[in-house]
Structure 1
Amino acid sequence: MLTVAALYHFTRFPDPAAIKGPLARIACAHGVRGTLLLAPEGINGTIAGSRAGIDAVLAHIRALPGCAALEWKESTAETMPFGRMKVRLKREIVTMGQPDVDPTAATGRYVEPGDWNALISAPDVAVIDTRNDYEVQIGTFAGAVDPGTASFRDFPAWWRENAHRFHNKRIAMFCTGGIRCEKSTNFLLGEGVPEVFHLKGGILKYLEEVPEQDSLWQGECFVFDKRVSLGHGLRPGDHVLCHACRRPLAPGDRDRPEYEEGVSCHRCAGEYSDADRARFRERQRQVRRGECFGEG
Structure 2
Amino acid sequence: MALHNRVSAAELKERLAQETFKRVTISFYQYAKIEDPQAFRDQLYPSLFELGVFGRIYVAHEGINAQISVPEHHFEAFKTCLYAIDFLDGIRLNIAVDDDGKSFWVLKIKVREKIVADGITDPTFDMANRGKYVDAKAFNELTNHPDTVVVDMRNHYEYEVGHFEQAIEVPSDTFREQLPMAVEMLQDKKDHNIIMYCTGGIRCEKASAYLLHHGFKNVYHLEGGIIEYTNKAKAAGLPVKFKGKNFVFDERLGERISDEIISQCHQCGQPCDTHTNCKNDGCHLLFIQCEACAAKHDGCCSEACQQVYNLPEEAQKDLRKGIDKGQMIFNKSRQRLRPRLNQE
Fold shared per TM-score above 0.5: yes
Q: Which of 239, 244, 257 is 2:274 aligned to?
A: 239
RMSD: 3.2
* Residue range with higher mean Cα deviation, 112-121 or 54-63: 54-63
Deviation at 1:256, TM superposition (A): 8.2
Other structure's SS at 1:31 match: coil
TM-score, structure 2 as length reference: 0.70
Number of aligned residues:
273
Q: Write the deviation string for residues 26-63 of structure 1: whole angstroms up to 9, x where unpaired.
A: 22222210011100011111111212434334433322
Q: Write the deviation string for residues 132-168 of structure 1: whole angstroms up to 9, x where unpaired.
A: 0110000001111101110111112212432334243
Q: Which of 1, 4, 7 is 2:28 aligned to?
A: 7
Equivalent residue number for residue 229 of structure 2: 206
Other structure's SS at 2:150 match: strand
Check whether the contact 1:242–1:248 (CA below 8 A) recurs between aligned residues.
Answer: yes
1:195 aligns with 2:218: yes
1:265 aligns with 2:304: no
Equivalent residue number for residue 322 of structure 2: none
Q: Write the deviation string for residues 221-265 of structure 1: whole angstroms up to 9, x where unpaired.
A: 0011111111238xxx962431544635353574486x443xx32
Equivalent residue number for residue 288 of structure 1: none
Q: Which of 43, 61, 65 is 1:22 aligned to?
A: 43
CA distance in 1: counterparts of 2:52 and 2:210, whole angstroms: 38
Deviation at 1:5, TM superposition (A): 1.4
Check whether the contact 2:197–2:204 (CA below 8 A) recurs between aligned residues.
Answer: yes
Name stretches of at least 5 consecutive residues in structure 1 with no aligned partner: 283-296
Q: Which of 42, 49, 55 is 2:70 aligned to?
A: 49
Percent of aligned pairs with the same amino acid: 26
Check whether the contact 2:99–2:255 (CA below 8 A) recurs between aligned residues.
Answer: no
Name stretches of at least 5 consecutive residues in structure 2 with no aligned partner: 1-21, 259-271, 318-344
Check whether the contact 1:129–1:136 (CA below 8 A) recurs between aligned residues.
Answer: yes
Check whether the contact 1:49–1:80 (CA below 8 A) recurs between aligned residues.
Answer: no
Equivalent residue number for residue 126 of structure 2: 102
Equivalent residue number for residue 87 of structure 1: 109
Shift in CA distance, 106/83, structure 1 to aligned 2, threshold 3 Å = same
Amino acid at match of 1:146: E
1:123 aligns with 2:146: yes
Amino acid at match of 1:206: Y
Deviation at 1:83, TM superposition (A): 2.4
Mapping of 1:119-268 within 5 angstroms?
119-211=142-234, 214-232=239-257, 239-243=274-278, 244-245=283-284, 247=286, 249=288, 251=290, 254-255=293-294, 259-261=297-299, 264-265=300-301
Shift in CA distance, 114/281, structure 1 to aligned 2, threshold 3 Å = farther
Amino acid at match of 2:240: S
Equivalent residue number for residue 52 of structure 2: 31
Amino acid at match of 1:106: N
Shift in CA distance, 24/124, structure 1 to aligned 2, threshold 3 Å = same
CA distance in 2: counterparts of 1:187 and 1:117, whole angstroms: 24
TM-score, structure 1 as length reference: 0.81
Mapping of 1:53-72 within 5 angstroms?
53-72=74-93
Other structure's SS at 2:35 match: coil
Other structure's SS at 1:77 match: coil
Shift in CA distance, 246/84, structure 1 to aligned 2, threshold 3 Å = farther
